[in-house]
Amino acid sequence: MSKVTTISAKSTPACVAIDEAKLALRIDGNDLDTEISAALDAAIESVELETHRALRVSYTVAEIYDGWPCNPVRFDWQPVKSIVSITYYDSADASQTVTASNYRLLACTDGAAVLEFDDDYSLPTTATRRDAVTINYLAGYADTASVPGLAKQAVTLKVRELFGDLMDREAKSNTRSLKAITSQLSWGAYR
């Protein structure tokens, strides 16, 4: 069974606002907002990829299979807010949509969600293609306040790490640039 997961849209706001990132970095003012915002975006992406949690209010996700996945289906991105649609290509290669009354979204004990097809629903035969079945869903939290504190803390720690690296690189780059410029200006032993 092959599967491809794509994220077509990520909403804002994210779980950590720029003001929170600035507080974690102990930076006042707006002079570095562009750099902080870039570090914040990178930090959120990093923590999201590590945890497979959508740390924004809404993600639009498509999981594409070459056939029907095993029942129940555990999603790649959590928490799942709702299933938008389940489509498939039938044996005649025509696009079909599964009626919502044939499946449900269930919460697991670990807080993740799974898709479960009804026991009496017989999965139709699909065409032989890589995108035979597509499950579209929304992942994310009700609001930024609902994002777990540990996830927010992970993001702010990653911001500090990334921002520190960014500033060190800039400092090293500035030092190298300065040396390059001064070496061109230097007259050597004849100063």
Residue 59: its H or E element? strand 59-65
User: Is 148 among the domain residues?
Assistant: yes
117 domain-assigned: yes
Report the pLDDT value the prediction gives residue 145, as an integer from 0 to 100: 85
Q: What is the pLDDT of residue 190?
A: 30
SS3 (DSSP) at 35: helix
Q: How far is CA 95 from CA 47, 73, 88, 99, in A?
A: 36, 21, 6, 13
Q: Does residue 64 contact residue 134 with C-beta atoms inside 8 Å? A: yes
Half-sphere exposure in the Cβ direction for 70 (13 Å, CA) = 3
Specify if 157 maps to a domain. yes
Say if 137 falls within a structural domain.
yes
- State how many domains the chain has: 1
Residue 190 maps to a domain: no
What are the two backbone dihedrals, phi and then psi, of residue 32, each rounded to the nearest 5 degrees? -105, 20
Residue 155's domain spans which residues?
Answer: 3-185
φ, ψ for residue 152, nearest 5 deg: -65, -40
In the prediction, which pLDDT does 115 show? 96
Is 55 a member of any domain? yes
| pTM to 2 decimal places | 0.76
Residues 6+ apart with CB under 8 A from 100: 83
pLDDT in tens, the chain (191 residues): 788 888 877 776 678 888 988 988 888 889 889 988 888 888 888 888 878 888 888 889 999 999 999 989 999 888 899 999 999 999 999 999 999 999 999 988 777 899 999 999 999 999 999 999 999 999 988 888 888 888 888 888 888 888 775 555 544 543 443 344 334 433 333 32
Is 191 inside any structural domain?
A: no
Distance from C-alpha of 84 to C-alpha of 134, rounded to nearest angstrom: 11
Nearest by Cα to 15 from 40, 52, 49, 50: 40
* Residues 6+ positions from 187 with CB-CB distance below 8 Å: none
Question: How many other β-carbons are positioned within 10 Å of the β-carbon of residue 58?
Answer: 17
pLDDT at 131: 97
Is residue 129, in this structure, part of any structural domain at all? yes
Residue 169: what pLDDT? 54
